[in-house]
Amino acid sequence: MGTILKFLKNKIAWFKKTLGVVDKKVLISFELSEFMQETESALQNIPQNYKRLYELHPAEMQFFVNREKEIKELQKSFTNWAKNRFVTCAIIGEKGCGVTSMLNSFISDIPHTDIIRDELHEKIFTKEDYFEYFNTLLKTENITTNKELIDFLNNTQSAKIIILENLHHMFLKKVGGFESIKMLFELISYTTKKVLWIGVFTPETWSFLAKTISISNYFTSEIFIEPLSHENIKETISKRNEYENLKTEFLPTEESLKSMTFENLGDEQKQAFLSERFFKQLHKLSNGNISLAMLYWVRAVEKIEENIIYIKGIDNVDHSFVKNLSSEALFALQALILHDGLTLHDFSIVMNEPHEECRKMLMPMLEKGLLIQPHKKYNINPAIYQQVHDHLSSKNFIH
């Protein structure tokens, strides 16, 4: 009798699964939970004199490649602003796409102009936070109204450029959470004669703010950062290796070694074949994002010996589980992607839930590797960011 019941139970479960009534449980791969830790370990194994080549920080000028189109648009904005035209500039790009390096290159060619530049790391969404921030940024004291800020900037002797990266941190998705960014727009509107304002946003926050507060009305120039091609990524990495006279040798995969076609190639042809395949795979995994490409590159370093860097093949992280995440998890990920990460406190405000309930949502995802926490903020693991983005988009959680 028990055997018959078990058979019927299995049959019903199979039938439900076939109809989509229940989903097959997909386990999150161990590799995902260890992705950032393993990448950091791989970086530590690289000899000290080569580490700086691959660390995630803005590229030095000798390593910078292929943002000519975006820089020309910035230069055009600067030229028009210098002619006393109303110009404000928004740069929209994914995290890790190289915006900071591009801005470094742009600034290096700007003659004799006062430049104020900052990168926001914390949420500034109240009036008090707003004035505290600008008093610190502009080195003023006790300014408490936007009119005072406007008068201060307009009465300064020299015109200036103000560049604010992560400008999307100046709002929080809650009732009253747009107070700071609306005051900023007023400040921008009344000071464009003296200030060229340049703000940097992620595509998700830009799209959200365009729908909620019509942000595009406040910027005359919108510069979208396109993904790099696999040739650009190859050039970026090759420049780093050439700088230290490192020769790259790609190690064949088991699949290649079993191929008679590959075995019949000469040594140089084998390296050309392996190089082309590697960088195409690297481009696919990174979606043209240079920071993510560098993470995968570091993971692919087998060893460095006698000025030769040995590179093994790379595989994709299994992200099939993304399509089986619960609605609760999707709402949490939506909040994180729209804000480019949140602290527990800010996440609690956005979700309108107590800290303890929010911790119960976030900690399992952190432990399983869906999230990382580089500082106090919870962010989506870069290894699955694109897959999470695409899934949220397909479910209309983001647009």
Report if residue 26 sits inside a domain.
no
Same domain (yes/no): 219, 352: no
At 62 the pLDDT is 63
Q: Which of 311, 336, 371 is the last residue of a domain?
A: 311
Structural domain of 251: 33-57+228-311
CATH number of the domain within which 139 lies: 3.40.50.300
Tokens of 360: 């119960």
Same domain (yes/no): 171, 79: yes
Q: Which of 311, 336, 369 is the last residue of a domain?
A: 311
Report if residue 1 sits inside a domain.
no
Same domain (yes/no): 327, 300: no
At 66 the pLDDT is 73
**Residues 163-180: pLDDT tens digits?**
999 999 999 999 999 999
Instruction: Give 324's DSSP letter.
Output: G
Q: If we measure between CA atoms, which residue out of 312, 291, 314 comes closest to residue 303? A: 312
Same domain (yes/no): 218, 250: no
- Interaxial angle between packed helices 385-394 and 327-339, expressed in degrees from 0 to 180 and rounded to the nearest 10: 110
Same domain (yes/no): 151, 101: yes
At 202 the pLDDT is 96
Q: Which residues of the chain have pLDDT under 50?
A: 1-3, 5-6, 16, 21-26
Exposure string over 364-375, b if 16+ CB within 10 A, otherwise e: ebbebbbbbeee
**Residues 27-41: pLDDT tens digits?**
566 667 777 778 888
Q: If we measure between CA atoms, which residue out of 87, 150, 152, 161 comes closest to residue 118? A: 161
Q: What is the distance between the terminal CA atoms of the chain, rounded to a whole angstrom?
A: 53
Same domain (yes/no): 73, 216: yes
| Structural domains of the chain, count | 3
